[in-house]
Amino acid sequence: MPPVPFTQGSLFGEADAIGYGSGQVYDEMVNGQGRLRPHWQTFMSSLGPLDSEQMAQRWEEARRLLHQNGVTYNIYGDPNGMERPWPLDMMPLLLPAHEWKAIESGLIQRASLLNAILTDIYGPQTLTRYGRLPPSVIHADPGFRRAVHGIRVPNDVHLHFYAVDLARAPDGRWWVLSDRTQAPSGSGYALENRAVIAKVLPDSFRHCQVERLSGFFDTFKETLFSIAPRTSAAGRLPRVVLLTPGPYNETYFEHVYLARYLGLTLVEGADLTVRDRTVYLKTLSGLEQVDVILRRLDADFADPLEMRADSSLGVAGLIEAVRAGTVVMANALGSGLMESMAMKSSLPTLCRHLLGEELRLPGVASWWCGNDAERAYVIDHLDGLVIKPAFPSLSFEPIFGAQLSAAERSALTERIKRRPWYFVAQEQMALSTAPVWQDGRLQPRPLVLRVFLCATPSGGYAVMPGGLTRVSSESGRLVVSMQSGGGSKDTWILAPRRADVAANQPRPSALAMEPTASGARPSANDLPSRVADGLYWLGRYAERAEGALRLLRATQSRLIDSNMPGATLQQRPLLDLLGSLGMIPAELARVTESGTSRGLRDALHAAVTDPDHPNSLRAQVLRLHRTAYSVRDRLSMDMWRVVSAIDRQTQQPKGRMDAASLLLRLDDAMIMLAAFSGLEQDSMTRGAGWRFLDIGRRIERSLHMVALMRGVHVADLDRQDEPMQAATLSVLLELGESVMTYRARHLTSVLRTPVLDLLLGEEANPRALAFQLAALDRHMRALPSQGVGTGTDPTGGALAIVAAARNSLERTDAMASSEALRTLLDTLAMTLPDVSNFLAHAYFSHAFARSA
Amino acid sequence: MTPPPSAPASGSSGLSTRYRLRHATAYDYGEDVPISHHLLHLTARPHPRQRIRRSLMTIDPVPAVRTERVDYFGNTVTYVAVQEPHRTFSVIAESEVEVFDPPALAPDDSAGWEHVRDSLRGLTGPDDGAEITQYCFDSALVASSPELLDYVRGSFTPGRPAVAAAISLMNRINHEFAFDPTATTVATPLAAVMRNRRGVCQDFAHIAVGCARAIGLPARYVSGYLRTLPPPGQPRLVGADVSHAWASVWCGASAGWLDICPTNACIANRDFITMAWGRDYDDVSPARGVLLGGAGHGLTVSVDVEPLED
């Protein structure tokens, strides 16, 4: 498609036609005369006329895709901040090939420089010894990790993954704002942005010849596998894991996403253990050695033995393993030091000294107050400067000197003089702007571009051809941050013109992610014990919620409609059950008149929605939600969405809710729980993880059935009159979801023996106890035979209990007499919980570390 | 495992005492623990006024892993991992150490403290001023504060020689803070000690370190032991029979590091045996461990400092 001439009128409203891009700052799309920059022409013409309805449609599509892919981020300290939808603008940022080339070479140089500085500081420290760097730069910084000083890292590479925030000055040059060297975030979001925008703007994407991102991640993956300390001599592939602080971290979504994308096992600190100065992953089939750890955990939290003792996120002994050289950390522990702002003003000198080159990409002018001359300058020029913390671990908001009163100025000067090394000053920089689609038109918004680099297997660095562009929500904002409500953009690096490409490398898309030998998906025995534990409890809580819900729904429907056949009589066993299961107070369960009492209605309401009531439906759902969250990376997006929906449906209503709408809510939640169960069966691979989930469900359903039988005193049924017997049995059939089956077989009367047979003994009924026991037997025989930490057969004890229970059900006289039935139920109630205990002991005995 | 013996510095007085040291630490975890990791600062570090004659560490149960290294501050650190189920863990560190008296002081002849502070900036080069200046900054347990600055100004008056000022600080802490083992734990923040003016030797050492840093001088936290038997006719020294702690303040190139003990108001002499030093207690705690499981733990520590007859 030939580029069509750009006409401004079709793009902007009248007001913007004059104002856009002609201000003091650089605009990415239009030049100072308000004309479209050349590298935007193809894009704008491919976009067609900017019809706001069509843009709104695309926007909807983008939102739908983001939602579908579950792209979220968390905001600290905000109760509603978990799982925020990811804000993405539809207009990508475009950068031409020649401009990108310059950025790329500047960034590769900078990565090499920072790595060389780390190598010196964590090694011979010649830079400080010979006065090229003030020693206080490292010693005043809480981010300097003394514990890892002197540890050699393979090939002297400390920095394997690195991100830089860039901004463009009014003169058009790119400047470095800050470096991210600890555990940089954002690359996964950049990938996700690309996936969405390429789908929403397919024509533009094709016409613009956009550089692909996947090649970069291929390289990174190769690097991760290449730094493993042991070669394939041991006859197995290196094991690379991604260490996350867990689901409450700001960018947990990205940890899950990258682990999947790179084919790494996602682990938390509790999944790892150090033995013999070697790191192991605790899996269902035992301990598996770990060779490389891609960490998203700050070094401070990595090892409670040698770093922060109060960290429960790390692994005790990890640093000793690194010291022994049995495991490699990426980035190396201590790499966060290069985020220090105090070092920035020394970089040009250090670059000359260490690399023999001039620093290609300038940093924003900064002065470190730990240096006498620089401090004097800062104090004299406060008006024009922004004061910031020198070290990332000190957090205070940037102070704009120009906005201070005389008193504030002198207070700040005092603060600086008392601890000068904690402060840097920077020139205030006017950010460039890019068009954002907002309120039905394009508007210029300030931007910061985050670019990512990775070490290559051959010892250099590669730059991701793209990046995460973040835009401020308001035009005048000086700070751009996702945490304070900004948005993001895809970043398109435009390939050189076709003629140039032909002679070049094969298109990066040819290197698209294929599962390669080195990057095989994590195998089944990679299932960390913690995850198996989480899935097991997920199954139990889902089933427990379902049991509570059926009971509440059965009761509620009879309270609303006393004309229901048998309603009045059936209330009796239902209230008994609610009482015996601790869902309503026992004294309310004993009321004899029909359930119109105010107290009972309130208690039932609380049993549904009260989060502080330990046995309420709401409390079960909260447990379900929390557990699902902890194993989120193992659930499909649909499963996660269902859990979120159940969570919403059982929240305490704003106002008072009448009985009928409560019942409707219960119906809706029931459908969602059924959907969850369906997804378990239909969308989960039959691996050990699924097995544990299903074991949890089967155990819970067994226990619940026994509790129901005992709760209605089924063994003493013959003491009731005949209508009451029928009412009780009908309730059991309903709660056991077996009414239809029963009616199909025994049209009329509800009788003890066939009901008990159907709910307890019948292996073909998926609600019957016998069915659960048969499933448990099958599952447990299929589990890995080697449990963690025990010498004995882990499932032996559990299998014996299940076998005994099945035997007792199969005996012909098991339910014949009241006495036999009572003994049977009592025995089951006593022995079945031990199945859970045996499994927990065998597979989940990974108590958390604590300090002594 | 015995570190090479170090010769006493030429500057020492030549008077010395030999000690037999025994530091026993025993944990009872209440139930079997499958694995535990420990970091021990229980071997005396190299020191210009100390000579280590013998050093032995006995660990029960015998650990699967035991390594030794020198940390960033020059201390000897032992890493230990017990990987079999165990209910108790004990370490007995025994050594024989000879300690020499420091050279005689001339408190009023030393350099003025401002001069000492200002000359820190010139400290670079291969002999590494960083080894000294690294003790200027805030650390995990000791951060300078306006309160500490106020307090230290009472001793570090303008132009006063650094040694005299440090001794004054030591004496004031000794007089104005009450020794009270019930007042603090290892978790009590420095600000609370400063407010309540009570604590034990670790707290007083932290106060002294924080004060020195507040006026810009490097200061170290020193952990070690104090001789137990009082010389005849003199009062028994507080802090005997347990681990002891004091502070070391940089007093300039000629006076060097001055070890002051605010708990007993004296300059550390050959009655003080140095085990380790760092920025604060966190860098040098004698035993630090992380274990899996366990029901709680009982800890028993006993220290014997026995002077030997020649």
Contact A129 B128 (CB under 8 A): yes
Q: B292 at the A interface (CB within 8 A)?
A: yes
Instruction: Parse chain A into domains and list their residue ranges.
Output: 365-427, 527-843
How many other C-beta atoms lie within 10 A of the C-beta of residue A652? Answer: 12
- Among A442-451, A522-531, A822-831, which is the least confidently predicted range? A522-531
Are residues B125 and B213 part of one domain? yes
The CA-atom distances, in angstroms, between B286 and each of A427, A841, B44, B225 are 47, 34, 11, 12
The two structure tokens encoding residue A739: 């009414």
Answer yes or no: do B148 and B79 share one domain.
no
Tell me, yes or no, whether B111 and B253 share the same domain. Answer: yes
Strands B65-70 and B76-82, how do they pair?
A: antiparallel
**Same-domain check for residues B95 and B111:** no
Least confident range from A309-318, A448-457, A581-590, A622-631: namely A581-590
How far does chain B reach from its first CA to its final CA, in angstroms?
25
Alpha-carbon distance A66 to A469, whole Å? 17
**In the predicted model, what is the mean pLDDT of residues A14-20?**
38
Residues B114 and B253 in one domain: yes
Residues of B172-182 as b/e, b for ≥16 C-beta within 10 angstroms? Answer: bbbeebebeee
Mutate to test the interface with A, among B292, B299, B300 (most CBs of A within 10 A): B292
Quick one: B47 and B140 in the same domain? no
Is B7 a member of any domain?
no
**Beta carbons of B292 and A129 less than 8 Å apart:** no
CB-count exposure of residue A92 (10 Å: 0-12, 13-18, 19+): buried
pLDDT in tens, A337-374: 999 999 999 999 999 999 999 999 999 999 999 988 99
Interface test with chain A among B86, B89, B290, by most A beta carbons within 10 Å? B290
User: A816 in helix, strand or coil?
Assistant: coil
Q: B9 lies in a domain?
A: no
Beta carbons of A847 and B292 less than 8 Å apart? yes
Q: Which of A104-118, A814-828, B112-126, B231-245 has the highest mean pLDDT?
A: A104-118
- Whether B64 and chain A come into contact, CB under 8 Å, resolves to yes
Q: How many CB atoms lie within 10 A of CB A301?
A: 18
pLDDT above 70 (res A289):
yes
Give the pLDDT band (50/70/90) at residue A480: low
Q: Mean pLDDT lowest for which of A140-144, A765-769, A830-834, B102-106?
A: B102-106
- Among chain A residues, the shortest Cα distance to B82 is held by A275
Reduced to 3 states, what is the DSSP secondary structure of residue A246?
A: coil
Q: Give me the mean pLDDT over the B16-30 stretch.
A: 92
Query: Chains A, B: CB contacts under 8 A, how many?
Result: 105
**Partners of A68 in the β-ladder:** none
- B10 within domain boundaries: no
The number of beta carbons lying within 10 Å of the beta carbon of residue B186 is 11
CATH number of the domain at B177, please: 3.10.620.30
Chain A residues within an 8 Å CB radius of B73:
146
| Interface-testing mutation among A120, A274, A279, A308, with chain B (most B C-beta atoms within 10 A) | A274
Residue B56: other Cβ atoms inside 10 A:
13
Pick the CATH number of A365-427 from 3.30.43.10, 3.30.479.30, 3.30.1490.270, 3.30.300.30: 3.30.1490.270
- Structural tokens at position A718: 């013959």
What is the predicted pLDDT for the residue at A3? 34
The pair of structure tokens assigned to A161 is: 């993954």
Q: What is the mean pLDDT of chain A?
A: 85
- What is chain A's percent helix, strand, coil content, to nearest 5? 50, 15, 35
Using an 8 Å CB-CB cutoff, list chain A residues near B218: none
Measured between CB atoms, does B72 come within 8 Å of chain A?
Answer: yes
Beta strand segments in A702-762, E: none
pLDDT class for A593, splitting at 50, 70, 90? Answer: low
Instruction: Select the more confidently predicted residue: A209 or B122.
Output: A209
Window 77-136 of B: residues touching A by CB (8 A cutoff) are 79, 81, 83, 121, 124-126, 128-130, 133-134, 136
For residue A543, name the pLDDT band (cuts at 50, 70, 90).
very high
Inter-chain CB proximity A277 and B81 less than 8 Å: yes
pLDDT tens column, B264-281: 999 999 999 999 999 999
Structural domain that includes position B73: 16-100+285-308
* A147 neighbourhood in chain B, CB within 8 Å: 71-72
Chain A contact residues (CB < 8 Å to B): 125, 128-131, 135-136, 139-140, 142, 146-147, 149-150, 273-277, 304-306, 309, 316-317, 320, 323, 372, 418-419, 421, 789, 846-852
Identify how many contiguous H helices and E strands chain A contains and give both numbers: 30, 23
pLDDT at A70 over 80: no
Q: Write the secondary structure of chain B as one string of H (helix), E (strand) and C (coil).
A: CCCCCCCCCCCCCCCEEEEEEEEEEEEEEEEEECCEEEEEEEECCCCCCEEEEEEEEEEECCCCEEEEEECCCCCEEEEEEECCCEEEEEEEEEEEEEEECCCCCCHHHCCEHHHHHHHHHHCCCCCCCHHHHHHHCCCCCCCCCHHHHHHHHCCCCCCCEHHHHHHHHHHHHHHHCEECCCCCCCCCCHHHHHHHCEECHHHHHHHHHHHHHHCCCCEEEEEEEECCCCCCCCCCCCCCCCCEEEEEEECCCCCCEEEEECCCCEECCCCEEEEEEECCHHHHCCEEEEEECCCCCEEEEEEEEEEECC
Ranking A35-44, A45-54, B64-73, B188-197 by mean pLDDT, the lowest is A45-54
Which residue does chain B place closest to A139, by CA atoms?
B134
Q: Which residue of B has its CA nearest to A847?
A: B293
- The pLDDT score that the predictor gives to residue A525 is 59
Confidence of residue A296 (pLDDT cuts 50, 70, 90): very high
Do both B167 and B259 map to the same domain?
A: yes
Whole-number percent of chain A with pLDDT over 90 = 54
Of B39, B69, B149, the CB nearest to A305: B39
Phi (first) and psi of residue B59, to 5 degrees: -120, 135
For chain A, state the CA radius of gyration.
Answer: 32
- Considering the domain architecture, whether residues B135 and B243 belong to the same structural domain is answered as yes
Is the ipTM above a cut-off of 0.85? yes
Predicted pLDDT of residue A235 = 64
Q: Which residues on chain A are in Cβ contact (under 8 Å) with B138?
A: 140, 142, 419
Identify whether residues B140 and B251 lie together within a single domain.
yes
Read off the pLDDT band of A92 (50, 70, 90). Answer: very high
Cβ–Cβ gap B67/A320 under 8 Å: yes
Cβ-Cβ contacts under 8 Å, B136 against chain A: 136, 139-140
B307 has which bridge partners? B19
A406 or A478, which is more confident: A406
CATH number for the domain that contains residue B80: 2.60.40.2250
Closest alpha carbon within chain B to A304: B290
Q: Residues of chain A with pLDDT > 70: what percent?
A: 87
Give the DSSP letter of residue A117: H
The values of phi and psi at residue B51, to 5°, are -130, 125
State which residue of chain B sits closest to A418, comparing Cα positions. Answer: B214
C-beta separation of A843 from A532 below 8 A: yes
- Residue A811's φ and ψ, nearest 5 degrees, are -65, 135
Nearest to A320 among B73, B79, B133 (CB): B79
The per-residue pLDDT for range B35-87, each reduced to its tens digit, is 999 999 999 998 999 999 999 999 999 999 999 999 999 999 999 999 999 99
pLDDT at B246: 98
Model confidence at A129, pLDDT cuts 50, 70, 90, reads: confident
**pLDDT for the residue numbered A82:** 55
Nearest-CA distance B181 → chain A (Å):
21
Chain A residues whose beta carbon lies within 8 Å of the beta carbon of residue B290: 304-305, 309, 316-317, 849-852
Q: Report how far residue B261's alpha carbon sits from residue B246's, in angstroms, rounded to the nearest whole number.
A: 5
Between chains, do B64 and A275 touch, taking CB under 8 Å as contact?
Answer: yes
**Number of folded domains that form chain B:** 2
H helix or E strand, kind and range, residue A436? strand A433-438
Preferred mutation among A145, A275, A303, A311 to probe B, highest tally of B CBs within 10 A: A275
Q: Give φ, ψ of B126 to 5 degrees.
A: -60, -25
Query: Which residue type is seen at B72?
Result: Y
B152 and B65, same domain (yes or no): no
Report pTM. 0.83
Q: Is the pLDDT of residue A208 over 60?
A: yes
Residue A85: name the closest of A487, A443, A442, A466 by CA.
Answer: A487
Residue-wise pLDDT for A724-747, tens only, equals 999 999 999 999 999 988 988 876
Q: What is the distance in angstroms between the Cα of A349 and the nearest Cα belonging to chain B?
A: 17
CB A165 within 8 A of CB A467: no
pLDDT in tens, A658-685: 888 888 999 999 999 999 999 999 988 8
Contact in structure between A251 and A240 (CB atoms under 8 Å) = no
Question: Mutate which of A278, A323, A340, A418 to test chain B, going by most B C-beta atoms within 10 A?
Answer: A418
B288 and A305 in contact by Cβ < 8 A? Answer: yes
Cβ–Cβ below 8 Å for A135 and B149: no
The SS3 assignment for A217 reads: helix
- The CA-based angle B298-B299-B305, given to 5 degrees, is 160
Res A514: pLDDT = 38
Q: Which of A136, A139, A275 sits opposite B35 (nearest CB)?
A: A275
C-alpha span between A551 and A299 (Å, rounded): 49
Q: What is the pLDDT of residues B128-177, one digit of tens each?
A: 678 898 999 999 999 989 999 999 999 999 999 999 999 999 999 999 99
Q: Is the pLDDT of residue A260 over 70?
A: yes
What's the rounded Cα separation, in Å, for the pair A83 and A351? 42
More confident call, A516 vs B105: B105
Answer yes or no: is pLDDT of A194 > 70. yes
Distance CA A400, CA A848 (A): 45
Burial of A330 (0-12, 13-18, 19+ CB in 10 A): buried
Test A135 with B36 for CB contact under 8 angstroms: no
List of chain B residues whose C-beta atoms are within 8 Å of the C-beta of residue A140: 136-138
Q: Determine the Cα–Cα distance for residues B82 and B84; give it in Å rounded to an integer.
A: 6
Same domain membership, residue B262 and residue B126: yes
| Nearest-by-CA chain B residue for A851 | B290
- Mean pLDDT, residues A396-418: 92
Residue in A closest to B130 by C-alpha:
A135
Measured in angstroms, the CA of A847 and the nearest CA of chain B are apart by 5
Residues B120 and B243 grouped into a single domain: yes
A540: distance to nearest CA of chain B, Å?
A: 25
- Token pair, residue B4, equals 């090479």
Cα–Cα–Cα angle for A504, A510, A514, rounded to 5 degrees: 150
**pLDDT value, residue B253:** 86
Which residues in A lie closer than 8 A to residue B71 (C-beta atoms)? 146-147
The span from the CA of B149 to the CA of B210, in Å, is 9
Which residue is associated with the tokens 């882990």?
Answer: A794
pLDDT in the model for residue A267:
93
CB-CB contact of B80 with B25 (8 Å): no
